[in-house]
Structure 1
Amino acid sequence: MLTKAQKLRAKRKAQLGRPRKANAERFACGKIKPEWSKQESEKEAMAVALAARKRMHGLEARGALAGYTLGRLFLDGRITEQQREAGDDYAATMVRYYHLTGIPFPSVRAQQIDHVRGHSGEPSEARALKAKNAAERMMRLEGLLLGCEEGRQVKTTVFNVCVMDYEGLRMMPEAQLDWLKRGLNVLLFEKGLRQYGKKDNSFTPL
């Protein structure tokens, strides 16, 4: 039998609060992190981004296509999905070329200014081969673009949209849009040849 004093102590102890939660994620001060905090912060960040996107670009789309100029041109209905994919493939080729050769990426929006530098020391033979293939692929694509009618304008327009991602080109006039489409169609044709193995023997794709 518990004494009256023991019962009183047990009652007071029970009133001290809930037992400590086990395995609960806590802040540095020891406070338990709310279960909803991360999800709510992600939702808030997404809402801010979507509001900014709608304000700046007039788009409510949540997908990645609304995040860059070529994708927005597709969403606007000014280019086809196949042309957009060809432009994305060209952009990936150029990024790979800059990365493997150590040449600084030409767009400030896509680089860290204080990290622009080449490779340290002698590159490995495997990396040198990859860089050589990347350079050959880049030169091939540039040659195809320059080979179009009004090739210099075609190449510049495709580069500025797909690589430099200039937002102002979203509203480009029809004449310039024709240059873009002409270049994307050539890239699309080359992409199809590469994918189906009908490439010429002078070029080894990555």
Structure 2
Amino acid sequence: MMSKAQKLRAKRKAQLGRPRKVNAERFACGKIKPEWSKQESEKEAMEVALAARKRMHGLESKSAFAGYTLGRLFLDGRITEQQREAGDDYAAAMARYYHLTGIPFPSVRAQTLDRVNGHAGETSEERARLAKKAANTMMRLEGVLLGCEEGRQVKTTIFNVCFMDYEGLRMMPDAQLLWLKRGLNALLFDKGLREYGEGDYSFNPP
């Protein structure tokens, strides 16, 4: 018969380490099968991510749109699906520009900004062609945004929301939201002209 101290030691020993996996698929030797372990790890990671998203952003959605500021603005109903798509296209174009030209990404997550480097410059003709195309696209998009009413504010707002992904801008005031929508509408109009239109047209959304 175990003494009270022995029972207490046994209880403490049983509580050590990670609890036993329930209903885990195992080999005959008792080892958990890798496929089951991988699925459970992914499931646990998703649960942690969703819990953090709910805690930080007040969103329970599993949508990928909840993972960035522009997408959250869309889920909040503050911008339309077409406007979100225009912002996503702009962000992709800007990322391509920084990547191909080797210019350091203006990352706010870097502890030392001057140590954030792009890819080393390459002298291949194809790389140079792609970099020039990306730079031309970037300049055209900046021109579109600066051509809007209050263009500088519009350009800065679009850049900070779509590319820099500043979370604080999710709660932007109505005046700044107007700049965002104005820029997104201009980008959407520019995309439509390039894909379906002919000639050069100016656009100055309200």
Same fold (TM over 0.5): yes
Task: List per-residue Cα deviations over 1:87-115 (Å, max 9, x = no partner).
Answer: 00000000000001000111244899766
1:83 aligns with 2:77: no
Contact 1:87–1:162, Cα closer than 8 Å, also in 2: yes
Matches within 5 A, 1:74-153: 74-109=74-109, 116-120=117-121, 122-153=122-153
User: What corresponds to 2:51 in structure 1?
Assistant: 51
Relative contact order (C-alpha < 8 Å, sep 6+): which is higher?
1
Which has more radius of gyration?
1
Could you tell me whether the CA contact under 8 Å between 2:105 and 2:116 is conserved in 1? no
Contact in 1 for aligned 2:154/2:183 (Cα 8 Å):
yes
1:184 aligns to 2:187 (yes or no):
no
C-alpha separation in 2, matches of 1:183 and 1:139: 15
Once residues 119 and 99 of structure 1 are traced to their aligned partners in structure 2, the CA distance between those partners, rounded to angstroms, is 10
- 5+ residue gaps, structure 2: 1-25, 201-206
Counterpart CA distance in 2 for 1:171 and 1:125 is 45
- Post-superposition shift, 1:199? 5.8
Change in 2 beyond 3 A, CA 1:100/1:112: farther
Matched-pair contact (CA < 8 Å) for 1:105–1:111: no
Unaligned runs of 5+ in 1: 1-24, 201-206
- Deviates further, 102-111 or 158-167: 102-111
Deviations 1:39-58 (A, max 9, x none): 11111110000000000000
Give me the whole-angstrom Cα distance separating, in 1, the residues matched to 2:118 and 2:142: 24
3-state SS, counterpart of residue 120 of structure 2 = coil
Identical-pair percentage: 77
Query: Which residue in the other structure is 2:32 paired with?
Result: 33
TM-score (norm 2): 0.77
Q: Give distance in 2, aligned partners of 1:115 and 1:33.
A: 41
Q: In structure 2, how many angstroms separate the alpha carbons of the residues matched to 1:117 and 1:111?
A: 16
Give aligned pairs, total: 173
Distance 1:182 1:165, change over 3 A: same
TM-score by length of 1: 0.77
Distance in 1 (CA, whole Å) between partners of 2:119 and 2:39 is 40
**Aligned-residue offset at 1:118:** 4.5
Deviations 1:120-153 (A, max 9, x none): 5x52111101111110110010011011100000
Q: Structure 1 residue 191: deviation in Å?
A: 1.1
Opposite residue 32 of structure 2, the aligned amino acid is K
- Asked if 1:171 is matched to 2:189, the reply is no
